[in-house]
Amino acid sequence: MIKEIREPLIFEISAAGKRAAELPALDVPENKNLLAGVALRRELDGFPEVSETEIVRHFTRLSQKNYCVDLGLYPLGSCTMKYNPKINERLAAHPAFAASHPLAPADLVQGSLEVLKRVEGLLCEIAGMDAFTLQPAAGAHGELTGMMLIRAALEARGNARKYVLIPDSAHGTNPSSAHICGYTVKEIKSNANGTIDLASLEQGMTDEVAALMVTNPNTLGVFESDICRIAEIVHAKGGFVYMDGANMNALTGIVRPGDMGVDVLHINLHKTFSTPHGGGGPGSGPVGVKAELVPFLPAPVIVEKDGRFVLDLDRPRSIGRVRAFFGNFSVIVRALCYILSLGPKGVREIAEYAVLNANYIRKSLEGLYYLQYATASMHECVFSDKLQKEFGVTNLDIAKRLIDFGVHPPTMSFPLIVHGALMIEPTETESRRDLDIFIEAMTTIAKEAKENPEVLHAAPHCTYVRRLDEVAAAKFPVLRWEKKP
Amino acid sequence: MSYLSLSDKDKAEMLARTGAAKIDDLFCCIPEAVRLKGPLDLPAAQSELELVRTIDALGRKNAYGGHLSFLGGGAYDHFIPTVVDYLSSRGEFVSPYTPYQPEVSQGTLQIIFEFQTLICQLTGLDIANASLYDGSTGAAEAVLMAHRVTSRDKVVVARSVHPQYREVVRTYIKNLGVRAVEVGFGPDGRIDKDELARVLDDQTAAILFQSPNFFGVIEDVQGLSDAAHGVKALSVAVVAEALSLGLLEAPGKLGADIVTGEGQSLGNPLSFGGPYLGFMACKKEYLRQMPGRITGQTTDTEGKRGFVLTLATREQHIRRERATSNICSNQALCALRATIFMETMGKQGLRELARQNAQKTAYAADRLAAVPGVKRRFTGAVFNEFVIGLPKAWAAVDAALRAKGIVGGYGLLADYADLGSAALVCVTELRTKDDIDRLARTLQEVLR
């Protein structure tokens, strides 16, 4: 990230007549009456005209303004920013897969179908579920799918019910997904340990409640130790337990959600199974279910018949499709590669070292930063800016100053139950050296907060742009480039 | 293969700092009764070389690549300039996350801003978001958006919209008290306007139509928009083949209020259906109802231009159950590929590419229609796909073509039984005149 690099918008360097791509001459006789009577456009008004050199420079310069996992620790809590193996990129782009068409006859895409079927099986084993659908394109999409499955199962029993219980520590997608599924959300308060309060749950869990959506470990990085009792309470009233598997990275090979009473869960392949985040997507959010919910899975379902993979479209009780085609296929190929690379021992080591690294950071920063919940941490720990507030320093200042030390900031201001939160998730792939660079930076910043808070308020100091005016961006939205009149 | 980075000495020292005697102790908060007692039943770990062999073997089971294919139907085989793969595989683009910290994410943010601009230019509308999952979920989100804007509960959906998109729309709306009423098509393959007039009423939130539609036929976007506006409903255009916008008038200039669609054609491989990218643009008065991420321009403390994610009060992490959508991510890397593709093709190239698709398709349609027994099923003008009617069952024709190394099209029996034996044929710039002639010749042979 070189501060001096400046790069205009492509539209600002465009000049008439330049080209970066040529096509072969048309090899069929030209039809002069082509599209007669159809409204055609005169030109692609505003589209850029640049050379190939300019394209390559433009995107290379822009790339250098991004921080990324390949550069260093990226401890965004709840996002699981682990290293993305390069071989998985190459294999996901394998010509046999990249060129396979989703509407091709099943006979011609047996390899693609086998990839999907194999990943379903591997995820069933890892999560302890009976079946998986790979259609959902992301975690939130998986939540929506999972809640629709629950609704369908309840409708089949005769009553879809009205409410969904969600802890106050949950990610915003949980209530939003439940809402789109037609449910009213009831929040349940966390207790002093930061976990679900059993008394509140028992009180809230009526026969009007469809499901509890629980994240485990929760967004504080704390394992819901009462999970088996929680599931009993929900099941006793005929409800379902939905687990948001965003934090599955803490559990792989240690414990399976299906063994602790979870009926439905989604897994983020872009978190736990290392598929790259790509600057905000694509992800993949497969949903696993227990037997009762299998008939409702999105159609089609891939089945193996006489050694061949075929699509079963005859699913009368299915909730229907949640996405065209088969989901984010090449993301799923990467997850397959990852699981095959690691094997059973490696999959367990994901959780072991993710939890070790998080606890190493926690112990190293305890005392320097305020820890609202002293409960044992799993794969992430949530500090806050309470001690630094005394000197007028906020979590935003701390985050921005970290950038000056070459480290990406943690997740901020989430979960909502911790004011001024700094949610730190190192993941298992990090080296001691990179963990220590982060710890040293945080230690220095704690000292600076006392001695020289101005340097924090003005941070970051070494980036191409300084702190940006987000209020103005929302108040006077400029959402596209426009040609000057 | 392990991707861990700790030495035994690191582990021991780090464990000592945590105060735990062994790693297992860090999991003491998990009830013993549910903890796994042995290893998972997973295949043994593979080295990189073994993994390559495993995936190669799976790849060899895909016989599709050895065929000359004319499949389209929402997933299009187009040329991808080398710079798209080269630039989009940079770690600085592949390995970051959502640009939550704008000071270290200006690359991703500026690219989204350029993407939004290009989508506005293509669709002829005021604003665009940073992308959605794909075309099908884009269609569903557009319907929900129209429902919020109009507070009406009925949506009129053309039967000529991609069957899988319609299915996704139905899945999304069924728990929200919104109902879909389908409208059929006429002999030209366009929406049946008489039937449309009968179902439009003051309860209609939107008309959802696709153009070019699933049959490749270009709809009368202006006429449909006027009809929608006549009952104060929104005109929602779905574009499953984004390349068509290089040649056809922008739907936003023909009255569409929301344009959503599939951007796969723009530099993203077929990849068995995903990941792709949904795009969505709308008139600015509907900005607050737009789902998904949006990037905006602003300035830093020194007055320098920069970009940030903005208008987050629409989104789930602020608004929770009252958000405009539950979507949390976008398809940033696919949108990056689309941006590189569009900027590389540029003003002239994208238009020329679209023109070649249309020209080759027109040629192919004439060649196939000249095969005895084969008929064009619809009379309406098409972009790069068309439907042929056949004198024999498509399943038999398809099998015979495949035996000669050709996937001639997508059979419509399952989705449109009323069309009889019919197939959707797609011709992109990648199919040469020889390819098209070979299809026509072979079709003639197998129908003989």
Residue extents of the structural domains in chain B: 64-80+348-447, 82-340
Quote the distance between the C-alpha of residue A153 and its chain's center: 27
**B390: which 2 tokens?**
């056949």
| Min Cα–Cα distance to chain A from B366, Å | 11
| pLDDT score recorded for residue B322 | 87
Beta carbons of B120 and A480 less than 8 Å apart: yes
pTM exceeding 0.95: yes
Chain B residues whose beta carbon lies within 8 Å of the beta carbon of residue A481: 113-114, 117
Choose the mutation target among A9, A11, A19, A41 for the interface with B, i.e. most B CBs under 10 Å.
A41
Give the tens place of pLDDT for each residue, A63-116: 999 999 999 999 999 999 999 999 999 999 999 999 999 999 999 999 999 999
Of B168, B299, B336, the CB nearest to A322: B168
Chain A residues whose beta carbon lies within 8 Å of the beta carbon of residue B1: 85, 341-342, 346
**What's the CATH number of domain A351-472, 2.60.120.260, 3.90.1150.10, 3.40.50.2300, 3.40.50.800?**
3.90.1150.10
Beta carbons of B106 and A465 less than 8 Å apart: yes
> CB contact, 8 Å: B323 with chain A?
yes
**Portions of chain A given CATH number 3.90.1150.10:** 351-472
Q: Mean pLDDT for each consecutive 10-residue tract of chain A (485 residues)? A: 74 97 97 93 95 98 96 96 98 97 98 98 98 98 98 98 96 94 96 95 97 97 97 98 98 98 98 97 98 97 96 96 98 98 98 98 98 96 97 97 96 92 98 98 98 97 94 96 88
| pLDDT score recorded for residue B313 | 86
> CB contact, 8 Å: B379 with chain A?
no
Beta carbons of A47 and B334 less than 8 Å apart: no
Beta carbons of B218 and A34 less than 8 Å apart: no
CB A91 within 8 A of CB B55: yes
Chain A residues whose beta carbon lies within 8 Å of the beta carbon of residue B12: none
Beta carbons of A20 and B345 less than 8 Å apart: yes
Report which of B325, B331, B145 is spatially closest to residue A175, judged by C-alpha positions.
Answer: B325
> CB contact, 8 Å: B239 with chain A?
no
Tally C-beta pairs within 8 A across A and B.
661
CB A154 within 8 A of CB A161: yes
CB A145 within 8 A of CB A337: no
Choose the mutation target among B83, B92, B353 for the interface with A, i.e. most A CBs under 10 Å.
B92
Of A91, A281, A469, the CB nearest to B333: A281
Choose the mutation target among A47, A225, A329 for the interface with B, i.e. most B CBs under 10 Å.
A47
Residues 187-206 of B with CB under 8 A from A: none
| pLDDT score recorded for residue B209 | 98
Beta carbons of B270 and A98 less than 8 Å apart: yes
**B182: which 2 tokens?**
């389908």
Report the distance separating Cα A47 and Cα B342, nearest Å.
8
Beta carbons of B168 and A29 less than 8 Å apart: no
> CB contact, 8 Å: B91 with chain A?
yes
HEC profile of chain B: CCCCCCCHHHHHHHHHHHCCCCHHHHHCCCCHHHECCCCCCCCCCCCHHHHHHHHHHHHHCCCHHHCEECCCCCCCCCCCCHHHHHHHCCHHHHCCCCCCCHHHEHHHHHHHHHHHHHHHHHHCCCEECCCECCHHHHHHHHHHHHHHHHCCCEEEEECCCCHHHHHHHHHHHCCCCCEEEEECECCCCCECHHHHHHHCCCCEEEEEEECCCCCCECCCHHHHHHHHHHCCCEEEEEECCHHHHHCECCHHHHCCCEEEEECCCCCCCCHHHCCCCEEEEECHHHHHHCCCCCEEEEEECCCCEEEEECCHHHCHHHHHHHCCCCCCCCCHHHHHHHHHHHHHHHHHHHHHHHHHHHHHHHHHHHHHHCCCCCEECCCCCECCEEEEECCCCHHHHHHHHHHCCEECCEECCCCCHHHCCEEEEECCCCCCHHHHHHHHHHHHHHHC
Smallest CA–CA distance from A319 into chain B, residue: B171
**Portions of chain A given CATH number 3.40.640.10:** 87-340
Chain A residues whose beta carbon lies within 8 Å of the beta carbon of residue B222: 39
The vertex-A189 CA angle with A186 and A195, nearest 5°, equals 125
Q: Which residues contact A44 (CB under 8 A, 6 or more apart)?
A: B121, B122, B246, B347, B350, B351
CATH number of the B64-80+348-447 domain = 3.90.1150.10
* pLDDT beneath 50: ranges in chain B: none
Q: What topology does CATH give the domain A87-340?
A: Aspartate Aminotransferase; domain 2 (3.40.640)
Amino acid found at B432: T
Choose the mutation target among B15, B28, B55 for the interface with A, i.e. most A CBs under 10 Å.
B55
Report which of A457, A478, A477 is spatially closest to residue A466, judged by C-alpha positions.
Answer: A457
Beta carbons of A464 and B106 less than 8 Å apart: yes
Beta carbons of A125 and B98 less than 8 Å apart: no
Strand (E) or helix (H) holding A384: strand A381-384
Beta carbons of B436 and A465 less than 8 Å apart: no
Smallest CA–CA distance from B253 into chain A, residue: A41
Chain A residues whose beta carbon lies within 8 Å of the beta carbon of residue B247: 35, 40-41
| Min Cα–Cα distance to chain A from B93, Å | 6
Chain B residues whose beta carbon lies within 8 Å of the beta carbon of residue A139: 328-329
Cα separation values, A363 from A388, A399, A433, Å: 18, 19, 16
> CB contact, 8 Å: B271 with chain A?
yes
Beta carbons of B64 and A181 less than 8 Å apart: no
Report the distance separating Cα A361 and Cα A267, nearest Å.
25
| pLDDT score recorded for residue A49 | 98
Residue A81 three-state SS: coil
Smallest CA–CA distance from A459 into chain B, residue: B103
- The Cα diameter of chain B in Å comes to 82
| pLDDT score recorded for residue B321 | 86
Chain B residues whose beta carbon lies within 8 Å of the beta carbon of residue A308: none
Residues 155-174 of B with CB under 8 A from A: 162, 164-165, 167-168, 170-172, 174
Is the omega angle on the peptide bond into residue A485 within 30 degrees of 0, that is, cis?
no
> CB contact, 8 Å: B1 with chain A?
yes
Beta carbons of A96 and B67 less than 8 Å apart: no
Beta carbons of A330 and B345 less than 8 Å apart: no
Smallest CA–CA distance from B221 into chain A, residue: A39
At the top level of CATH, which class does the domain B82-340 belong to? alpha beta
| Min Cα–Cα distance to chain B from A404, Å | 10
Report which of B352, B332, B351 is spatially closest to residue B340, judged by C-alpha positions.
Answer: B332
| pLDDT score recorded for residue A3 | 53
Cα separation values, A140 from A95, A212, A267, A417, B134, Å: 30, 16, 10, 21, 14
Beta carbons of B17 and A36 less than 8 Å apart: no
Chain A residues whose beta carbon lies within 8 Å of the beta carbon of residue B324: none
Beta carbons of A100 and B39 less than 8 Å apart: no
Strand (E) or helix (H) holding A241: strand A240-245
Chain A residues whose beta carbon lies within 8 Å of the beta carbon of residue B3: 82-83, 85, 274, 341-342, 428-429
Beta carbons of A66 and B96 less than 8 Å apart: yes
Chain A residues whose beta carbon lies within 8 Å of the beta carbon of residue B351: 43-44
